[in-house]
Structure 1
């Protein structure tokens, strides 16, 4: 029987030569197309198990090629190639069904290997997901009752989600004040926040944005809340300085496994962090977060650095734990991507405008919401959440 075949769509000679060699070394035959139209004409679900698409093609947007391929064959694995300046399009490609992406210049054959392993190991992964779902059902009986209640009654679902949300505003020992504004686009929200004091010095928090809207996304927020609380009952997190980084990664890995196992087709972005009130430090990690969190102080406002893949798409997210020194007086602002829908322009212009508004409001929640017209915008295109932590 013939081995798996791949179709490579790019007019970038360097990328094409490297990928052709890497794919061949993995046992795939390689067909090449220089344009989107040529690639679509060559594509056949029976011939190709893997399609590699450049986001920048001479005749059409790579996202349009992805849409057409997924329309013809939803099960075909599609790997995207992007320049570093196209990262905002990468998340859109993931939402359209791409299985992974590579950033130019392409130099690591190991990334190709992971895609091939996903194709050949699909049957084993499906079996693992079935087993994991069974284990999930056994330990989440209470959550299933909540989910059934949500399905029967939208009002009960709204009350449940409000009950799961923390009190706002809230002031912790050490002078850390936490507040948020969460406005769903529908009756229920796919955004969620939570926070708490651990030990005597650590304030832990997270903001999660689940893909989609309404009941199904709200159910996933309840799953995430329940999963974290279940882990906290098993063992303490965020109580020792030396284990903060490990604890942050454990939360992301745990939620990632849960989303992959549910079979609901949901993914999420997440910002999770811990403020060390004694050392005046912020430890944090991000997973597909757009826009990035911002830190405001007397010196102005700026985005925090960091990167990491969204949750619920990849088995490994390559998340990073970052640390930021905090001044005597500061305000941390994290927003779900729905906030960007309130602003005009392309993604970079929206992010620049948002950072200007955060700086002008000094990160103060009510003032920022007023500047964004959160309460008067009308029909919201997406759930909107703004989380602030303040000291001083």
Structure 2
């Protein structure tokens, strides 16, 4: 069989194969050696059932089977194929019709555990950080060391964004009146957002799936993970922590143009297909996370991923990266990487362009982008050791 195999517990074969660790159990012990030997070349009737582990597999003679006639080559291949693209902890049961026998014999079951292979999106579902829980009054207690990290981050970043952040963002900073000596409570942020644009922040775990993300935005609630990065990761953090979300994004949620675009984006994403969401993700990345805007005082930053990053805030306005006039279709078709300084930024003519965009046919542009396909990447292939600034992506991949 393919992959690394080891025997564990009576009647089990464990194999490390692509897509996760799959456990194979021989339900008919006398057939085990024949299965391992790959000696069954006659056409066999294969029945596969996929169930969630919490549901006990009982008599599998019901209507859950998909049948196909194949030549048996590898039990692992059959089970792996049946579990491909299934949720973790899915179960597949393999059964055959033996030649000249009316009985169905169950040979093995497979379990797809959580994959150890980290793709861009699956890696986003794993983090060492744990969001802090509120008490019965909604108050979140942070240790002194975490307040100190907040102080370091906000003190440093307020100096960096001077002369670089757009005025609408600075107006929001003034309204929020973020404390420097401690991490703010979400209720403090909500009081300002509700009074200005009707938005709120919502406490979430460190990482959330697409669906939850869009549901929150569609209901005018911006997700905030209630943890803060460690001192060792002050300059780079892949996960969106409370500093990134509150300092990077919440000030502009006091602006009605920005708030309207974010709300529309959430509603569109909620009803979009998986394929459409990927194109929407690029629009989000090139605007809300890493957007620039022209102002009467010059080119400025409005993207939260830049505003919360000391390195990217300086780099983005330098002559090194490419600046392009904002075009939503162009932005949707532009690949990006989350672990590097961005080689390209889209520039709005003014922030009201986001409000106008919210009332255009965004999903029509998504469908057009899907037909045209992606532009060629403007970055080198990923190096696992590479790091960007501390920009923190949302829970999706490009």
TM bracket (short chain): under 0.3
Q: What TM-score, normalized to structure 1?
A: 0.28
Larger Rg: 2
Q: What TM-score, normalized to structure 2?
A: 0.27
Question: Which structure shows the bigger proportion of residues in strand conformation?
Answer: 1
